[in-house]
């Protein structure tokens, strides 16, 4: 294939058109409409045109990207009534015989999309982690000794939002895409083109996101570059802060679209594409966890999008969604009131709370699955586990106002939300029951993945218990807005979702890359992560109790000791994660070649050869039992799985 | 997991016989519309919220005029007419009356485009600007959201019309009309909601 | 390695370790509190909040220890060296255990809820007639205090020991949050809204106010002083202020609330 045919369309042509789009859009607004000159430091550059120019640039950048990667080819073919693509063309689009270039273009094969997601989310994780290291550097000593306060606020915002966006995608993106279709016996996702589109949206979202720290530098009207609102982007401060918030809003909206597309795709795939005999109660728990997360993404993301759109409209078009009255500074800027500051809190948290369950649900499903594999025992209560997962899904929409206990909004409802928040610990507890019951009397094989399962159990337990403190209104009055909250959610999100992710990478690495990850480096990085993680956030609980607020670059000397311990531990954590990443990269190139089923698991993805062929299965299997049937000796090829002997169950 | 092979025959194609291809598109489109409905629900909640906690009589600041009911009725009427033509076409395709299908879809498409043009023109000539208080902000957001869907849906509309005129849809196989119908009906319904909301929940006007 | 295990060992470990940890907490908590692990408590609300947290800690200990003990016991007792050569008992669940687990969970959260509800009722009690009324106005990046009973403004908060205070908190620009750590008083300052909090300081001393909601660049610097003094000291301060700025200057003290009322004086 000639180079032109390889590179057009591809991500490269997409990037070129994206750049052109940005230049055209921004220049048009700045020069033609705004009449400003090229020098963005010119005091004559009006803040509003600057923003509008960036926005126009970003929109055209997204459009250029999508056109450049060829995403519109099929929609236009369909729209103009031209001939539908035949099977060979579908295979070409899926990357048949395309070589390595298929990872750098719009490819529909779910396995390619899965790998693309893995690489993209790991890069995002690296940048989010860098942000965390910068935060801990600043917080190592009192006083804003490393960065000025406005820069620190931007770092905090970017770290938070980037980590959230990463964690939304880092399980269902790589593993939901690569593994789940094979797990349920399908050849691909329900909508392969939509799949390729969702990773494309995530990539362009990150391109927009990357602009944030560079926006607003030198603008005398704003206080520093970037966004200084925290990831919660409350409309009041967001309406006032630097122009970086427009980039943040658009990036998050695009990432939200990506997530919702993935959610619709995953749910439809599971509903419509299961192999014969794969009933809902024979699906591995990973699938159920990912379904739960997809439901939350599909239903809840819109709330955040509405909030962000309103912020941009308030800033650029002078609407007044979040301006209540005419008092104060804003009156001088020509804003009429009529809005409400509570609106932003409600819109944000109606999304924000289901969102955090979205982050951990895939990990819940995964750790249950993998405990069964590494204990050689069926799941202790399949239906219990589903009850737990779906209970969390339903209840997560009924607790959001626990983020507003001290806001003064409808205080009479606080009792209800205290009850609902405490109630959500019941389905969560069921997950623990299933985990403990599966481990009990199993034959526990301590792989690195199983190590991460134990880490998950420990960390989410602490995170969950501290959440109960926060659910209690009188306690929350004292703890809200402080570092206790930060430690709590890091224990649940990092301790839950990240531990699950790291375990999953190690677990499915042989199937996705054909090689095993190095075990020794794996264990070293594992222990480094545990020591660093627990050190950081246990110290953070302490300073939280002492009274340290969140999101402060400068703090009272009272909190110095705890912060120093936290920072040093955080550097250990960071170094260990880097080591883990090194393991991924090194093993991908030079790790030992993996057999088809190195773990002796019984789920469908391990019945395929490695590397997995283009359409996954020669013949679609007919499933005759559940996914944890270790008593059955034979694998489908007729050869017993290594290490699994036939015979009566012991005890 | 126990599986047994064979019984399905060799499939080189991705169209395995156990997969309901049409059902798949139906489910997918349904979920897409559900996601969109959630957007609308949040917009409506925001409207009700702001109207409820309105402070300082800034829902309608002094001097602003209310929307022109005639114009907005025409706009919604065009949208509803489009929906009705689509209903007709959908019924006709299930009866197998090819000519009526083509007529219905074409009319529905033309009315959709008419609504789009009228809406853009209407939004440009509102008696207030978006900077005119709480109601103005919400109204502009609703109208803009609707226009955005009319625009994005244009791809569906044009495509469906072209393909209908090509005669692709029969009594047995007309999944395109059914599933795009979900989207079509939803945009019409949201247009009606946006029409009714300021009537049911207006504000003090002075 | 005994791969059978038994239930007795972990249960005993669970009970013993829970009791030990509870005892440890009982003796360590006051020591740590003195050492600064929590702010020195100075109001009824703060006492209430930390009492609740202490009870929660006692209730959490068996939950925490239970999960850790059973997981650790499984890890050590049932571990296979390397890849397992046989399988575990093919148990698919235990409905009775599930029933007990659910029952225990519901009992536990009911207890938590009752405790919390009690505490919440105390929080929501209306201010008595004898309360001091303080309007807290937050703006970037300063808190201002207006004593509406005396028409006095101040940038330091003066309170009276054992006299209830009703704080009414609002903001002039963005979200802030008014927090007195030692007194457990926290109320978000939301522009355009009034947020009320009632507390009674019960210890003389000097305390701090921190802003607890990110509000811009100088968020970390929005600290002000709180002085809880005796009634006579407070009275002296009040008369000093009033002689410096007589009540007739009230009109000059612009209360944001004025902007929230319509012509007839009602909140619209």
Whether residue C246 is contained in a domain is answered as yes
Q: Is B56 near chain C, with CB under 8 Å? A: yes
More confident residue, A601 or C262: A601
- The distance from CA A384 to its chain's CA centroid, rounded to whole angstroms, is 26
Sign of CA dihedral A432, A434, A437, A438: negative
- Percent of chain C scoring above 70 in pLDDT: 90
Residue B30 has pLDDT above 60, yes or no: yes
Query: Tens of pLDDT along C61-100?
Result: 999 999 999 999 999 999 998 888 888 888 888 999 999 9
Greatest Cα pair distance, chain B, in angstroms, is: 77
DSSP structural state of residue C80: E
SS3 C215: coil
Residue C252 makes CB contacts below 8 A (sequence gap 6+) with none
Give yes or no for A616 touching B (CB within 8 A). Answer: no
pLDDT at residue C197, as a whole number: 95
Q: How far apart are CA C263 and CA C268, in angstroms?
A: 9
- Measure A185 CA to nearest chain B CA, in Å: 10
Q: What is the DSSP letter of A163?
A: H
Cβ–Cβ contact B43 with A under 8 A: yes
- Which stretch of A42-46, A551-555, B48-52, C245-249 has the lowest confidence by average pLDDT? A42-46
| Chain B interface mutation, best of C190, C267, C268, highest count of B Cβ atoms under 10 Å | C268
Closest chain C CA to residue B58: C268
Q: What is the CATH number of the domain that holds B143?
A: 1.20.120.80
Of A496, A470, A479, A492, the closest CA to residue A543 belongs to A479
Select from A472, A628, A631 the residue whose CB has the most chain C CBs within 10 Å, as the one to mutate to test that interface.
A472
Complex-level ipTM: 0.91
Q: Tell me: the pLDDT tens digits for A430-486?
A: 999 999 999 999 999 999 999 999 999 999 999 999 999 999 999 999 999 999 999
The parent domain of residue B73 ranges over: 21-61+69-200
Closest residue on chain A to B48 (Cα): A343
* Stretch 86-115 of chain A: residues touching chain B, C-beta under 8 Å: 87, 90
Could you give the CA distance from residue C50 to residue C38 in angstroms, rounded to a whole number? 9
In a domain, C86, yes or no: no
A482 has which bridge partners?
A549
Chain C residues closer than 8 Å to A443 by CB: 3, 78, 80, 84, 86-88
Domains along chain A with CATH numbers: 1-75 (no CATH), 107-590 (1.20.210.10)
Structural domain contains residue B45:
yes
Alpha carbon of C232: minimum distance to chain A alpha carbons (Å): 30
Span C107-132, mean pLDDT?
A: 93
Query: Residue C186: left if φ>0, alpha if ψ -120 to 50, beta else—which one?
Result: beta
- Sequence-separated (6 or more) residues with CB below 8 Å from residue B200: none
Q: Is residue C96 part of a domain?
A: yes
The residue in chain C having the minimum alpha-carbon distance to the alpha carbon of residue B55 is: C268
| Contacts A236 to C, Cβ<8 Å | 173-175, 191
Q: Does A339 touch chain B (CB under 8 A)?
A: yes
pLDDT of the residue at C223: 92
Q: What is the DSSP letter of A398?
A: G
Q: Contact partners of B by the rule of 3+ C-beta pairs under 8 A?
A: A, C
**Do both C61 and C143 map to the same domain?**
no
Cα–Cα distance measured from residue A159 to residue C55, given in angstroms and rounded to the nearest whole number: 35
**Nearest in space to A497 (alpha carbons), one of A116, A128, A110, A114:** A128
pLDDT of the residue at C267: 43
- Across A74-84, average pLDDT: 91
Q: B-chain residues within 8 Å CB-CB of A81? A: 159, 162-163, 165-166, 168
Find chain A residues with C-beta within 8 A of C74's C-beta.
Answer: 436, 439-442, 444
- Calculate the average pLDDT of chain A: 90
H/E stretch holding A584 reads: helix A560-590
Touching subunits for chain A (3+ Cβ pairs under 8 A): B, C
Q: C223 and C179: one domain?
A: yes
Shortest distance between the Cα of A630 and any Cα of chain B, in A, equals 8
**pLDDT of amino acid A36:** 52
Mean pLDDT of B120-147: 86
Q: What is the pLDDT of residue B136?
A: 86
Residue A594 DSSP symbol: P
The C-alpha atoms of residue A175 and residue A172 are separated, in whole angstroms, by: 5
Q: Does B51 touch chain C (CB under 8 A)?
A: no
Higher pLDDT, A122 or A317: A122
Count CB pairs under 8 A between chains B and C.
Answer: 13
Distance (Å, whole) CA A431 – CA C91: 17
Q: Where are the alpha helices (DSSP H) in A398-514?
A: 414-423, 425-439, 448-471, 473-479, 483-492, 499-513
Test the A interface: residue of C116, C135, C196 with most A CBs within 10 Å = C116
DSSP letter for C174, please.
S
Helix (H, G, I), strand (E, B) or coil at A74: helix
CB < 8 Å to A415, chain C:
117, 120
Chosen domain end from C69, C104, C124:
C124
HEC string of chain B equals CCEECCCCCCCCCCCCCCCCHHHHHHHHHHHHHHHHHHHHHHHHHHHHHHHHCCCCCCCCCCCCCCCCHHHHHHHHHHHHHHHHHHHHHHHHHHHCCHHHHHHHHHHHHHHHHHHHHHHHHHHHCCCCCCCCCHHHHHHHHHHHHHHHHHHHHHHHHHHHHHHHHCCCCCCCCCHHHHHHHHHHHHHHHHHHHHHHHHHHCCCCCC
Contact status, residue A374 vs residue A447, Cβ threshold 8 Å: yes
- Decide if C172 is inside a domain: yes
Whole-number Å distance between alpha carbons of B113 and B62: 36
* Mean pLDDT computed over A369-381: 94
CATH classification of the domain holding C195: 2.60.40.420
**Do residue C124 and residue A411 have CB atoms under 8 angstroms apart?**
yes
What phi and psi values does residue A216 have, to the nearest 5 degrees? Answer: 95, 5
Residues in chain A with CB shorter than 8 Å from the CB of B55 are: 324-325, 337-338, 340
Contacts (Cβ under 8 Å, ≥6 apart) of A333: none
Do A417 and A401 touch, CB atoms closer than 8 A? yes
- Mean per-residue pLDDT for A547-565? 94
Decide: residue C30, CB within 10 A, 0-12 exposed, 13-18 middle, 19+ buried: exposed
Q: Tell me if B162 and A80 make a contact (CB, 8 A cut-off).
A: yes
How many cross-chain Cβ pairs, A to C, lie less than 8 Å apart? 319
β partners of residue C134: C147, C167
Q: Given a cut of 80, is residue A634 above it in pLDDT?
A: no
Q: Is the minimum CB–CB distance between A276 and chain B shorter than 8 Å? A: yes
Q: Which residue of B has its CA nearest to A90?
A: B14
Give, as one character, the DSSP assignment of residue A226. Answer: S
Assess whether C136 and C254 both reside in one domain: yes
Tell me, yes or no, if B206 comes closer than 8 A to chain A by beta carbon. no
pLDDT of A276-308, one tens digit each?
A: 888 999 999 999 999 999 999 999 999 999 999
Q: What global pTM score does this model have?
A: 0.92
A123 has pLDDT over 70: yes
Q: Does the pLDDT of residue A60 top 70, yes or no? A: yes
Q: How far apart, in whole angstroms, are the C-alpha atoms of residue A67 and residue A7?
A: 14
Residue C268 lies in a domain: no
Residue A158 near residue A226 (C-beta atoms within 8 A)? yes
Instruction: Mark yes or no for CB contact B57/C260 under 8 Å.
Output: no
Of the candidates C124, C147, C179, which is a domain's last residue?
A: C124
Within a domain: B14: no
Residue of C nearest to B203 (CA): C268
Residue A603 DSSP label: S
Strand partners, C196: C168
Phi, psi of A480 (to 5 degrees): -60, 140
- pLDDT bucket at A195, cuts 50 / 70 / 90: very high
Q: Are residues C120 and C161 in the same domain?
A: no
What is the number of domains present in chain C? 2
**Residue C251 predicted with pLDDT over 50:** no
- B-chain CB neighbours of C90 within 8 Å are none
Tokens at A649, concatenated: 């169950």
Tell me, what's the pLDDT at A35?
62
A192 vs A620, more confident: A192
Q: Based on the structure, what is the number of domains in chain B? A: 1
Task: Give the residue among A643, A440, A36, A383 at the shortest CA–CA distance from C75.
Answer: A440
The answer to the question of residue C105 being in a domain is: yes
**CB A596, CB A606: distance < 8 Å:** yes
Residue range(s) defining the domain that contains residue C146:
132-260
pLDDT bin (cut points 50, 70, 90) of residue A23 is very high
CA distances to A378, A499, A502, B50, C231 from A436, in Å: 12, 17, 21, 48, 59
CB-closest option in A408, A482, A553 to C193: A408
Contact partners, residue A640, CB within 8 Å, separation at least 6 = A633, A634, A646
Pairing of strands C176-180, C165-171: unpaired
Q: Which residues of B touch A78 (CB under 8 A)?
A: 159, 163
**pLDDT for position B3:** 54
Q: Report the gap between the CA of B146 and the closest CA in chain A (Å).
A: 14
Nearest to A629 among B2, B7, B61 (CB): B2
The radius of gyration of chain A from alpha carbons, rounded to an integer in Å, stands at: 25
């Amino acid at each position: 294939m000639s180079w032109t045919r390889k590179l057009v369309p591809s991500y490269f042509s997409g990037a070129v058109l994206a750049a052109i789009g940005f230049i055209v859009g921004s220049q048009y607004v700045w020069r033609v409409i705004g009449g400003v000159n090229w020098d963005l430091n010119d005091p004559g550059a009006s803040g509003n045109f600057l923003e509008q120019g960036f926005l126009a640039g970003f929109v055209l950048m997204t459009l250029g990207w999508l056109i450049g990667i060829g995403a519109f080819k099929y929609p236009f073919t369909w729209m103009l009534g031209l001939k539908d693509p035949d099977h060979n063309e579908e295979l070409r689009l899926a990357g048949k015989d395309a070589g390595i270039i298929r990872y750098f273009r719009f490819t529909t094969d779910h396995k390619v999309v899965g790998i693309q997601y893995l690489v993209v989310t790991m890069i995002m994780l690296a940048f989010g982690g860098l942000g965390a290291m910068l935060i801990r550097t600043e917080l190592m000593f009192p006083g804003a000794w490393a960065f000025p306060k406005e820069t620190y606020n931007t770092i905090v915002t970017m770290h938070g939002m980037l980590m959230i966006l990463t964690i939304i995608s880092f399980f269902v993106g790589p593993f939901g895409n690569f593994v789940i279709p094979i797990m349920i016996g399908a050849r691909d996702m329900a909508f392969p083109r939509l799949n390729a589109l969702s990773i494309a949206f995530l990539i362009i979202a990150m391109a927009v996101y990357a602009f944030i720290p560079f926006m607003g530098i030198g603008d005398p009207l704003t206080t520093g570059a970037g966004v200084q609102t925290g990831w919660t982007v409350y409309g009041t401060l967001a309406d006032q802060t630097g122009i970086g918030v427009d980039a943040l809003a658009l990036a998050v909206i695009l990432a939200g679209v990506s997530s919702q597309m993935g959610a619709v795709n995953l749910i439809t795939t599971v509903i419509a594409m299961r192999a014969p005999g794969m009933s809902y109660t024979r699906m591995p728990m990973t699938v159920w966890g990912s379904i739960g997360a997809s439901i939350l993404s599909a239903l809840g993301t819109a709330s955040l999008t509405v909030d962000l759109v309103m912020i941009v409209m308030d800033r650029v078009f002078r609407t007044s969604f979040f301006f209540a009255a005419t008092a104060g500074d804003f009156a001088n800027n020509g804003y009429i009131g009529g809005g409400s500051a509570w609106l932003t809190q409600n819109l944000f948290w109606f999304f924000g709370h289901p969102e955090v369950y979205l982050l951990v649900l895939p990990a819940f499903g995964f750790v249950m699955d993998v405990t069964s594999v590494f204990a050689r025992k069926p799941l202790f209560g399949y239906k219990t586990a589903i009850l737990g997962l779906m209970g969390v899904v339903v209840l997560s929409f009924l607790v959001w106002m626990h983020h507003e206990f001290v806001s003064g909004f409808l205080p009479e409802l606080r009792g209800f939300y205290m009850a609902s928040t405490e109630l959500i610990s019941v389905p969560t507890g069921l997950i623990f029951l299933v985990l403990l019951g599966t481990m009990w009397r199993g034959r526990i094989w301590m792989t690195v993945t199983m190590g991460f399962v134990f880490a998950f159990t420990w960390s989410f337990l602490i995170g969950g218990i501290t959440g109960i403190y926060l659910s209690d209104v009188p306690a929350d009055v004292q703890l809200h807005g402080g570092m206790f909250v930060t430690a709590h959610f890091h224990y649940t999100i990092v301790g839950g979702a990240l531990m699950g992710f790291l375990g999953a990478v190690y677990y499915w690495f042989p199937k996705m890359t054909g090689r095993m990850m190095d075990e020794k480096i794996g264990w070293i990085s594992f222990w480094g992560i545990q020591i660093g993680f627990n050190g950081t956030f246990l110290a953070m609980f302490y300073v939280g109790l002492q009274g340290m607020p969140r999101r402060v670059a400068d703090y009272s000397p009272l909190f110095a000791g705890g912060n120093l311990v936290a920072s040093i531990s955080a550097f250990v954590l960071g170094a260990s994660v880097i080591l883990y990443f090194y393991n991924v990269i090194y093993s991908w190139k030079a790790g030992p070649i993996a057999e088809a089923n190195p773990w002796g698991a019984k789920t469908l993805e391990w019945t395929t050869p490695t590397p997995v062929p283009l359409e996954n299965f020669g013949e679609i299997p007919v499933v005759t039992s559940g996914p944890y049937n270790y008593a059955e000796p034979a694998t489908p090829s007729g050869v017993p799985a290594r290490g699994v002997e036939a015979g009566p169950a012991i005890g | 997991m126990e599986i047994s092979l064979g019984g399905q025959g060799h499939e080189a194609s991705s169209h395995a016989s156990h997969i309901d291809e049409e059902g798949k598109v139906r489910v997918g489109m349904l979920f897409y519309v559900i996601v969109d409905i959630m957007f609308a629900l949040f917009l409506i909640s925001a409207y009700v919220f702001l109207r409820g906690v309105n402070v300082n009589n800034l829902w309608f600041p002094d001097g602003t005029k209310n929307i022109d009911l005639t114009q907005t009725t025409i706009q919604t009427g065009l949208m509803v007419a489009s929906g009705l033509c689509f209903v007709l076409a959908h019924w006709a395709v299930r009866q197998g009356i090819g000519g009526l299908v083509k007529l219905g879809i074409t009319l529905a498409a033309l009315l959709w485009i008419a609504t789009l043009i009228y809406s853009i023109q209407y939004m440009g000539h509102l008696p207030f600007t978006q900077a005119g208080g709480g109601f103005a902000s919400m109204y502009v957001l609703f109208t803009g959201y609707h226009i955005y869907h009319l625009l994005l849906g244009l791809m569906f509309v044009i495509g469906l019309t072209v393909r209908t005129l090509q005669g692709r849809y029969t009594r047995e196989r007309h999944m395109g009309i059914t599933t795009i119908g979900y989207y079509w009906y939803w945009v019409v319904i949201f247009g009606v909601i946006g029409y009714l909301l300021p009537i049911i929940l207006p504000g003090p006007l002075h | 390695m005994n791969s059978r295990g038994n239930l007795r060992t972990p249960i005993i470990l669970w009970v013993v370790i829970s009791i030990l940890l509870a005892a440890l907490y009982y003796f360590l908590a006051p020591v740590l509190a003195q050492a600064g692990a929590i702010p020195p408590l100075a109001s009824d609300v703060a006492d209430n909040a930390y009492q609740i947290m202490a009870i929660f800690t006692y209730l959490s200990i068996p939950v925490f220890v239970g999960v850790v003990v059973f997981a650790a016991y499984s890890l050590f007792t049932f571990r296979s060296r390397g890849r397992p050569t046989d399988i575990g008992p093919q148990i698919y669940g235990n409905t009775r255990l599930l029933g007990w687990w659910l029952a225990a969970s519901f009992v536990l959260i009911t207890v938590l809820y009752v405790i919390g509800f009690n505490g919440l009722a105390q929080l929501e009690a209306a201010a008595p007639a004898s309360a001091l009324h303080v309007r807290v106005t937050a703006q970037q990046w300063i808190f201002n205090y207006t004593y509406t009973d005396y028409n006095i403004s101040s940038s330091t908060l003066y309170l009276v020991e054992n006299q209830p205070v009703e704080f009414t908190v609002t903001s002039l620009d963005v979200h802030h949050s008014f927090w007195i750590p030692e007194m457990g008083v926290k109320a978000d300052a939301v522009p355009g809204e009034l947020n009320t909090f009632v507390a009674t300081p019960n210890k003389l001393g000097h305390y701090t106010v921190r802003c607890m909601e990110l509000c811009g660049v100088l968020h970390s610097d929005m600290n002000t002083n709180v002085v809880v003094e005796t009634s006579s000291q407070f009275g002296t301060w009040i008369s000093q202020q009033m002689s410096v700025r007589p009540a007739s200057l009230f009109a000059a003290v612009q209360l944001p609330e004025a902007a929230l009322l319509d012509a007839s004086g009602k909140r619209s």
